[in-house]
Amino acid sequence: AAGDATAVAHPNIALIKYWGKRDERLVLPWTDSLSMTLDVFPTTTRVRLDPAAGQDTVTLDGVPLEGEPRRRVVAFLDLVRERAGRPARAVVETGNTVPTGAGLASSASGFAALAAAASAAYGLGLDATGLSRLARRGSGSASRSVFGGFAIWHAGQPDHGADPDLGSYAEPVPVPVDELDPALVVAVVDAGPKAVSSREAMRRTVDTSPLYRPWAASSQADLADMREALRRADLDAVGEVAERNALGMHATMLAARPAVRYLSAATVTVLDAVLELRRSGVSAWATMDAGPNVKVLCRRAEADRVAGVVREAVRSGSVHIAGPGPAARLLDA
Ligand code: DP6
């Protein structure tokens, strides 16, 4: 029905990281990033217009959102309302299957699903590029979850005409996926919420870390190497570049003042296990986001073995195997 839409989106894991904004309000990053959308942990969001209501109702897994998370959703809806020229408030119901706030990119699937559902409910009529730009305003990484498989999010040029918003969106990267046969083994070593939000951590890193600018420059070179490695379906090259890019990102945070350290003892234990796997001839490479969890890139054919070794290393916690997932989509009413 008009004014009522439901969408599903999946999280993505960056192989070339987004870390640092050049414009916080518009969520414009300093660097390009590249990710794989997963086939696990979908978020489903329904948006229903409620013209009689005085304010939005926002629930996550049936529980009303409060504070900063609610404020972010309402600000996002305000943006959609302004564009649609429709002031109606909405009822937003989200179901998450990923541990929220654990550095597992729940904001990526969350805002991609919200952007798809809200833009349909308010009748914005966006194409995929427009949807990616809109999702970006909710959370930068959400711009990439609009697409399935592999996606690149363009930072955009600081001087992109009169409207800097236009140049910053994600688009699919063609990859010979069957040949690459990638899997990500997700080691959840700690599902609790993070101590410092990625938003605050990014801000602090850009403002105070002497390593930020060098990393941003090297990340541009990493991206070129990554695109080439993906094109060749060279999993070891993809993994090597992803791992060095992620470790470099964490180095920028460790050098911030005060330092931001997401990596825990359990993280390092998994990193040791990954090194051990490589020594035994298994292609396995690690990447970490704004939390202690580790995502291990490997061949699908070896994912069970990798998951077994990782499970042994984490003991408490959970291990999941993910492959390349689908684009965000609307569900039939
Ligand atoms: C480490 O997209 O959550 O996962 O734009 O402030 O909402 P905001 O940040 P967010 O940051 C994700 C950072 C990362 C790397 C990545 O996904 O590229």
- How does the average pLDDT of the chain come out, rounded? 95
Residue 23: how many other CB atoms lie within 10 Å: 14
Q: From edge to edge, which strands make up the β-sheet containing 294-299?
A: 284-287, 294-299, 182-188, 318-322
Mutate to test the pocket of ligand 1, among 10, 16, 17, 18 (most ligand atoms within 8 A of CB): 18
**pLDDT over threshold 60, residue 163:** yes
pLDDT in tens, 270-311: 999 999 999 999 999 999 999 999 999 999 999 999 999 999
Using DSSP, state whether 124 is helix, strand or coil: coil
Pick from 19, 35, 198 the residue to mutate for probing ligand 1's pocket: most ligand atoms within 8 Å of its CB.
198
* Percentage, residues of the chain above pLDDT 70: 95
17 Cα: distance to centroid of ligand 1 (angstroms): 8
Q: What residues does ligand 1 touch, defined as CB less than 6 Å away?
A: 14, 17-19, 27, 33, 105, 107, 139-141, 198-199, 289-290
Lowest-confidence region among 48-57, 183-192, 208-217: 183-192
| CA–centroid distance, residue 88 to ligand 1 (Å) | 30
Looking at the CA of residue 153, tell me the nearest atom of ligand 1: 18
103: left (phi over 0), alpha (psi -120 to 50) or beta: left
**Cα–Cα distance measured from residue 162 to residue 257, given in angstroms and rounded to the nearest whole number:** 35
Distance 333 CA to ligand 1 centre (A): 31
The DSSP secondary-structure symbol of 2 reads: T
Q: What is this model's ipTM?
A: 0.99
Span 250-264, pLDDT tens digits: 999 999 999 999 999
Token couple for 73:
């959703």
* Contacts (Cβ under 8 Å, ≥6 apart) of 23: 164
